[in-house]
Structure 1
Amino acid sequence: MVKIDTIELPDFPLLLAPMEDVSDPPFRAVCKDNGADLMYTEFISSEGLIRHAIKSEQKLDIFDYERPIGIQIFGGDEDSLAMAAKIVDVTNPDLLDINFGCPVKKVACKGAGAGVLKDIDLMVRLTDAVVKATRLPVTVKTRLGWDEDSKNIEEVAERLQDIGIKALAIHGRTRAQMYKGQADWTLIAKVKNNPRIHIPIFGNGDIDSPQKALEYKNRYGVDGIMIGRAAIGYPWIFREIKHYIQHGVMPAAPTLEERVAVAKKHLHKSFEWKGPIAGINEMRRHYANYLKGLPGIKEYRNRLVTLKTVPEVEEVLNEVLTHYQGVEIEQTPIVLENYHEHCAI
């Protein structure tokens, strides 16, 4: 068992990463169904929260079936982060996470997200302000450092633990790398194996298969892994990793019926939470992944991205079920796309 303060998680838990413009309630619902042990909201601007921006406040929406669930905030000002933490308190999540890892220019270059990695003293002050402002367990997600010359994650881990954070998730790249190159888990392992560190350490970056998840579990000894891009359009990654770790063999791939059922559930949740326009439009980017591997699916996919009502979409999905009944779905490797390139931030 892994514990974050009083939150009990299974041995080697799988976490859904907080991804802006991705990890919304509809997406979280299908990931939870498929085995995510702990999930986080999209990151929320502390300035937006204290100014009651509608978009920021909407991201506070959490549901009991999602628990345990963490709300993630970001910012570069101590007072704003502390005030935002008090607002988050009222929504009663299971924990509060601080984002010190977002590499997007509009965030990092304004002294928030990964931008804080350039000033560790500031990171400590910001974290301390949040810890003191909330009754919730506070966790942090960050990167190895700002660039190749400032990989300071070992110092960061010790100092943040000393002021009271309850867990640390580390993406194995610097901010300068964005999502290029290969994630370096050796420094994550050094943090985990530091005798001074007693909080859970979760590794993040490049986990795109059950085989790699097991390999990294054994090689680096982290307490669990955080999965981000590999889950986009493929929430089954969580159950596949769990099955592979437990049994040493891959489970059966999701059937066509499962794929369509998940697409429909995601669609309905999106419609309910975002409304009839955004709810339909923002689902369009998911159909390609849900139906990936079906021969000649482009024709149906092109229709799906033009439809404007739930019944119309469901009708086409039902056509897909009928047309491809008995057809073997080609299993292709998960592609880790840089979702930040399409991010609204």
Structure 2
Amino acid sequence: MSVQIGNIDLGEFPLLLAPMEDVSDPPFRYVCKQNGADMMYTEFISSEGLIRDAAKSRQKLDIFEYERPIGIQIFGSDINSMREATEIATLAGPDLMDINYGCPVKQVACRGAGASLLQDIDKMVAMTKAVVNATHLPVTVKTRLGWDDNTKNVYEVAERLQDIGIKALTIHGRTRAQMYKGEADWSLIRDIKKNPRIQIPIFGNGDIDSPEKAAAWRMEYEVDGMMIGRAAIGYPWIFREIKHYFKTGEHLEGPTIAERIKVCRTHLEKSVAWKGPKTGIFEMRRHYASYFKGIENFKEFRMRLVKAPDMAEVEEILGQIHDTYATEMA
């Protein structure tokens, strides 16, 4: 059976790319889409930033036709600002709107936004209702199990948010107090999925980092799909590998060195085209270590890549990486 969010058909058991700050920009989304991501989200966007017309927030609204279906994710602590930001984001033409009630970092959660709303469900419900009423698009939510081990209230959150009109819910299997430490616990996610009152798709998020785990957890936790975040950084192939494993029960061969270089180069080219040469090259530096992770004796190349000042030099180094490793990794 196909998973539906409003009128968006995501096929059977979709794999979603998580919205990640400073990662899920259009260049990164491009390489994930090429490798099988079924739906993606923008980096989270501050509602206050959108209303003030802050350049950084506005740029995050950039979406491209090839990315569809795509959602714009917003966060904030003020209900009126969230309503206004929803109206602005809707004009950018996404396929859906998403609200971030999961971000655990201090500068978000300690200002009353993100996961902080898990401490005030009534406000979360009022804020969500304001967003739902401010757009014609389907609204989805991403959240966590609760604020800490004593307040795992996502079961109540799921029912109340569904009742006011959200069309899907993604749950990260950790509390805010856990941040990204320890293991994600999906048992409460399964309980929500099994709740007869819940009719909307429930997506699980947290610790999906291999095809085997994705297949095992799909069976064990009975979610409608999975959202993948950190495991896709520098490894967009994870989407196609999971899909292949679902279909065949077999492992797809990992990317060759030539493939790693090709996708890394594509990511770089898209980054420079979108942000300009200076910012595009600078921001790409955070991805090189991930693209070539696990390759022996790579440190010197990595150091050179993160210092390379322009496209020409990066291209030259990528060529040398190919010449050095292509034969031994073939």
Name the TM-score class by shorter chain: over 0.9
The structural deviation recorded for 1:295 is: 2.2
2:169 is aligned with 1:168: yes
Which residue is 2:307 aligned to?
306
User: Equivalent residue for 1:55?
Assistant: 56
Between Structure 1 and Structure 2, how many residues are aligned?
A: 329
- Partner amino acid, structure 2, of 1:295: E
Unmatched 5+ stretches in structure 1: 330-345
What is the deviation of 1:301? 1.2
1:200-237: CA deviations, max 9, x gaps? 00000011101000010000000000000000111000
Kindly state the Cα deviation for residue 293 of structure 1 after the two structures are TM-superposed: 2.5
**Aligned counterpart, 1:341:** none
Q: Given that residues 147 and 177 in structure 2 are in contact (C-alpha distance below 8 angstroms), is that contact kept between their aligned partners in structure 1?
A: yes
Determine whether 1:257 maps to 2:263.
no
In the alignment, residue 285 of structure 2 is paired with which amino acid?
R
Percent of pairs with identical residues? 67
Map Cα deviations across residues 41-70 of structure 1 (whole Å, 9 max, x no partner). 000000100110000000000000000000
Report the alpha carbon displacement of residue 307 of structure 1 after superposing the two structures with TM: 0.7
1:219 equivalent in structure 2: 220
1:261-300 alignment to 2 at 5 Å?
261-300=262-301
| CA deviation after TM superposition for structure 1 residue 324, in Å | 1.3
Equivalent in the alignment of 1:135: 136
Q: Which residue of 1 aligns with 2:321?
A: 320
Q: How does 1:1-345 map to 2 (within 5 A)?
A: 1-328=2-329
Q: What secondary structure sits across from 1:195 in the alignment?
A: coil
In structure 1, C-alpha distance between the alignment counterparts of 2:51 and 2:69, rounded to whole Å:
25
Shift of 1:255: 0.8
5+ residue gaps, structure 2, are none
CA distance in 1, matches of 2:179, 2:49: 25
Task: Tell me how far apart the structure 2 counterparts of residues 130 and 73 of structure 1 sit (CA, whole Å).
Answer: 10
Q: 2:44, 2:75 within 8 Å by CA — same for their partners in 1?
A: yes
SS of the residue corresponding to residue 287 of structure 2 reads: helix
Q: Secondary structure at the match of 2:286?
A: helix
- Aligned to 1:103, what secondary structure does the other structure show? coil
Q: How far apart are 1:315 and its partner, in Å?
A: 1.0
TM-score norm. by structure 2 comes to 0.98
Q: Using the alignment, how far apart are the partners of 2:329 and 2:309 within structure 1?
A: 30
* Deviation per residue, 1:98-123 (Å, 9 max, x gap): 00000011110111000000000000
Which segments of structure 1 move beyond 6 Å, counting only runs of 4 or more?
none
Question: 1:176 corresponds to which letter in structure 2?
Answer: A
Deviation at 1:9, TM superposition (A): 0.5
CA–CA separation in structure 1 for the residues paired with 2:293 and 2:57:
33
Encode CA deviations 1:158-205: one digit per residue, 9 max, x unaligned: 000000000000000110110111111000001100000000000000
Residue pair 2:256, 2:329 contacting (<8 A) in 1 also: no
